[in-house]
Structure 1
Amino acid sequence: MSITYLKNLRNETAHNLKIDRGRCSVLINIVYELTMKIQEGLKLVMLWDGVKPEDKDEIEREIVRVFDDTRRKIDEIGKGGIGAEVFDEYQREIDFTKKMKLLEEEGFPCLKKILEKLKSINPLSLITGTSSNPNIPVEKIYTEMKLEGESGPCSVPIEDILNYVPHDDHSRLLLIKGMAGMGKTTLVKKIISDWLSKKDDIKGLSDFAILLNVECRDSIESFKDLLVTYFGDVHQKFKDNEIIDVCLAHKCLLIINGYDEMNDKSSKLFLEVLTLKKSRKISVIVTTRPEFLERFNNQVKFDYTTVSTISLEGIPKEKREEFVCKYYAVLGSDNSPLQLLQYLRKTMHTMQEVWELPLNLALITILWMIKPEVISNITTEAELYWQFYLLSRSKLKERLGKNLDTAHFSPSKLLYKMQEFIEKLCHESFRALQKDEINIPQSTINNLSAFCHSLGLPAEELTGAFLKKVTTSQGSFHYSFPHKGIMEFMAALFFPMKLTNQCWDQSVNTATVKKIFEMLLGGSLPENLHKYQNMLIQMISLLHMGDEDEMKVSEDAKIEALELLVRSGVNDRDSALRVLKNIKCDHSSSRWIAQRFKLFDKDTRIEDHTIDAYIALLRATDPPLPNREEIKIKIDLYDTDGLVELQRQLCRHLINPSWIELYNHFEGDSEPTVEERESQSRIYTVKSSSCKGYKGIWDPTFQIPPNIRELWFRFKDHPSLDAFCQSLEKTKQIGVLGK
């Protein structure tokens, strides 16, 4: 009983009582009396017959030693052996424990309430405008993403990402890089959602007591301000920077989302976090676009910070249909997405890079639900954004037609006024691109609002139709572009508008692509236009799409845009082939590209990674192509559709391969399927006499070209020599047999 009382006294003293000297004296007397009682009790135990006589003396000596030592320490306390500073330190420890408990009881619920709002997405904001936008929890649409480590193409499972940012390592942080629209924010929302639900999808995530999310587009400039934002009014019960110490006494994970969108205030916060991390245990994850990687590395290395890097490569090919089905389901449609999935399968090879982006998959799903007839015409990213732009404009016109303030305008007058606003927004899009901004500055929003007012249009409706309204963790909101690709599209749209006299600038009649560019930049063009490369790609597509959408421009303007694309870094064959499949071209532009980059000469080799580009080029060009030379095909037969389409287009241009290499089936263990054999044989069916070399699996179902000079086989069935010679004899066409 005495031991239990002493234990309870210790706990009461440590956690609930305010310690002072008077109270300390009373406690000392109580402890002294309790120890005496415990010692007497132990002596009585010594009389128990179960204790051997030879052990009793040793036990008694040990009891006397322990309790003499205990009484000595108690006497030292009673005589003032422990100074006032110890009592003060002990008091601070008790107060700190109380503050930690206060933060947990009152601050944590506020933190979780705010994070609940941040974990949702708003997929229809650009269609529905600013009202009635559904918030969808990210866990309902999240689909496995492709993450790769920095040491080569090494896959990183999402459950292991926290291994890249050890909590005890003061100098290490994790950087997740990915292009605009690749899903960085979705991944952040997934982490938030899992932390809130305490799921174990990400190993170690539930071990963090606190998770904080920083959106670099926000205006929070200090770590204390961040804590005030997340923990609500409880911060008023802390002195000075006390809340920082209490917060970081817990295991804390900080996510800094959008380093590429950093402003002056969030930059100060980031630098403070780097400083805090040197001395505190805090795990930090940062996301950014690749264009800002060099600036990021220079900044953190200056602070002696080690960076683990993971690349976010979007949704893997095999998971894209799953994502679309999830997205389709949460939007509430009862119809089957089967035809949408068939379209994706049909375009998956030619639009591989477009469908890597979750946002693009979301846009095509929304388009399919609302206007399914348009998606069959979408073959490039610019066409996707164009159709979404037309849909957004159409929905805006419907809303304005029902708005009491604008219903009196005739449909044509309303469309004209809308067009004036869109033109001004496109101009602002270019300015944002020039400044590497995604957010729209408040000054620009004010100017757009004033412009809407001068047109007699409701600013909230128009800005909400084309820009994303983002609510910050502070409860305020601002507008931004959905992602950089759409911002570049809007900037590119300004050029055909101006070239076709649909712009508010009266100098349009003498405009050229270069003059518009110089006007937007406020001076002559820089030699390096790399920053504007994707905008130029989208512009070129828009200039050609205008032939179908009443924005027809001259052939000179199209070639001029191609020349500027060369100045942006697309200046050799490889880079031209890389972007070619993302460009919509007509006959003259395609011929210009083929000649400029010598795409059909004696060194031409069509491989898996370039087949899409060659198909796009051959489709857009009327035969025959200039400078046609012998070409070589090195391809994997797994993509039978691509090979069949390539063969069809080569035949249309009277081009025949001089060398065919089906490399995977030649070198590997797999064998062609029936469909692959049919594709293989089609290569030789038309004008095949020019083929002089073949390397692949032996299949006697097709005839060997008569002029072949080199022949390499892998035998699928290991036929006897006699059987093989009989097969060769049947062809009666073999020239020289290679080894």
Structure 2
Amino acid sequence: MATTGSTGGSPATAVNLRDKTLRTCLCNVFANLHLSPMVMGAIVKTESQDKEDHETYRMYLDRLRTNKNEPTFSNTELKKEFGYNSESLKKERNPDMLDLTAIFCLLSHILTKVKKYDSVMLEVLFSKLSDVKDMRNKVLHNLDQLLNEKNFTDLTTTLFDLIEEAKRFYSSSLGPEVLYFPAEDTKQKLSDEITKLEDLDKSDIHYYISRLVMSGKPAVSKLWGTRLHCEILLLNNDKVHRQKVFHALDVMVKTSDSNEILSYTKIFEAPENVVVVAGAAGAGKTTLVKNIVLQFFDPQQRSADHLSSFNQLVFFECRDRSTEKLSDVIDKHYEDLCSELGKENVLKALLRIDVLFIIDGFDEVNKNSAKVVNGRMQA
């Protein structure tokens, strides 16, 4: 969600902006998770001025189709068009509650498939929208980029340029209706929000996220790297390095049209928030997920395309009978950070960034682990 402000709880304490590394990370997190959605959300509001307050964006898109005597979206078609962002469009009514990727998908659809503006006029605006989206992906998926001061300057400059281009676009649009884009108000709001960075306190969600992305991955790597690094072979009890004996699996992807055999890495291209890998006992499901965990933390494999879009990883085994809440799983992964910030705040931060949740052993689920799984599905 593109919201800002305190998460409540403990008294506010000013962030120490003299810590240059933390300050740079915080600025980039704030810019990409708050400023960018705010500006692009203003364009969504301009394009959907006729949307009723009670309508979700899925309802709004369906109404636009009905007005043109076209069939409404089926769930399958909606998912094909918007991928995992389709779930957000089904329930949200305000762009302030959408993240940047959902906003970009929504705008792309409206601009190119609903309104169908002149391609020459649209080209520059769409290019600047893409620049903002690409900056988000570049920065949030790479810690080195998060710690680069220039990225904050580049993004804020691009956002002001985007506002100017939107002003030009809507003032000269030859569409069926003249839409008003509040360029000056949006620029002023952007300037005001940038100024707020100086006064952010340690109860702000962006501070939690910044701390998480800076220190979270090493903590989880230490937790699972030692536990999963080696395995005992069943035939001769030899202890081997797990990744050295791992053979990549193929999986059968079942669709309404066909059953296709693909590399397991294609799982990560599915337009779903949740993917279930099923198979007979001994087929290699647990071996697969444990190797994915190790790949995530392996510097030589971390840049692999199928893992590059995730900032953090959380791994849970359903045979665990001692853990009852998702927040306790988070505490196990980020113990020091949870002690300092509070495990509920770390969980809130995780839910705002791109996290790969891996749950192993659904066939071993018990009363307690079921609560954890349900907690993740409802988060």
Name the TM-score class by shorter chain.
0.3 to 0.5
TM-score by length of structure 1 reads: 0.24
Work out which of the two has the higher radius of gyration on C-alpha atoms and give 1 or 2. 1
